């Protein structure tokens, strides 16, 4: 600070305090500036930093990198860098909160035989037991096979498996054998459905 004493008629001695135009209030006067920073105490540089991405982080969340933000005022500590995360969409998996959804094709043979099948998950293959009363579009829940909560890794979502039935290819001989079996089946499901329109 600079203090200037003025004698003003009618007011007497008056002190006028202003910020020093040389040191800008720092109390230091640099007589020889640094060639790199030119007296600004800041040097622009590039640095590569390895950042750990928390498991289960969601699209649009932010990660704070301490000390890599803007320069501090008058030699103070630097600010923080805030990175917004953009998660690339997976070809098969979709996410809802911490739950992961996946559509899985299932042969009607596996349904009839109530087989156990393997289902892909973000952490590897999981086994799922099928039952003959399942319908196409049924959702099978696999506990704790989804995504972890980025704020609390102990909380893990579920894997929601959407079953999509398909009919496998049969040879002409197999089709003939199946037709003989189907002819003995008395299926009234469609007839009941049609009655609802009468």
The CATH number given to 94-195 is: 2.60.260.20
Cα–Cα distance for residue pair 26/40, rounded to 1 Å: 13
CA distance 140 to 164: 11
pLDDT tens digits, the chain, 198 residues: what are they? 555 545 556 555 656 667 666 666 666 666 677 777 766 667 777 888 899 999 999 999 999 999 888 888 767 788 999 999 999 999 999 999 999 999 999 999 999 999 999 999 999 999 999 999 999 999 999 999 999 999 999 999 999 999 999 999 999 999 999 999 988 888 888 889 999 998
- The model's pTM: 0.72
Integer CA distances (angstroms), 162 to 101, 116, 132, 143, 187, in order = 7, 15, 15, 14, 26
Segments making up each domain of the chain, as ranges: 1-31, 41-87, 94-195
């Amino acid at each position: 600070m600079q203090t200037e004493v003025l004698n003003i008629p009618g007011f007497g001695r008056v002190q006028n305090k202003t910020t020093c135009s040389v040191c800008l209030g720092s109390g230091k006067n640099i007589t020889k500036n640094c060639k790199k920073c030119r007296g600004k105490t800041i040097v622009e540089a590039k640095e590569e930093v390895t950042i750990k991405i928390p498991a289960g982080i969601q699209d649009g969340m932010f990660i704070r990198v301490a000390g890599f933000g803007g320069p501090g005022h008058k030699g103070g500590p630097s600010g923080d860098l805030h990175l917004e995360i953009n998660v690339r969409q997976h070809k098969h998996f979709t996410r809802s909160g911490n739950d992961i959804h996946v559509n899985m094709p299932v042969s009607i043979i596996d349904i009839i035989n109530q087989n156990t099948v393997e289902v892909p998950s973000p952490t590897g293959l999981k086994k799922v037991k099928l039952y003959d009363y399942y319908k196409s579009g049924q959702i099978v829940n696999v506990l704790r096979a989804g995504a972890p909560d980025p704020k609390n890794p102990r909380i893990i979502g579920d894997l929601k498996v959407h079953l999509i039935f398909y009919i496998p290819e049969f040879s002409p001989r197999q089709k003939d054998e199946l037709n003989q079996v189907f002819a003995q089946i008395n299926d009234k499901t469609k007839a009941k459905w049609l009655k609802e329109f009468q």
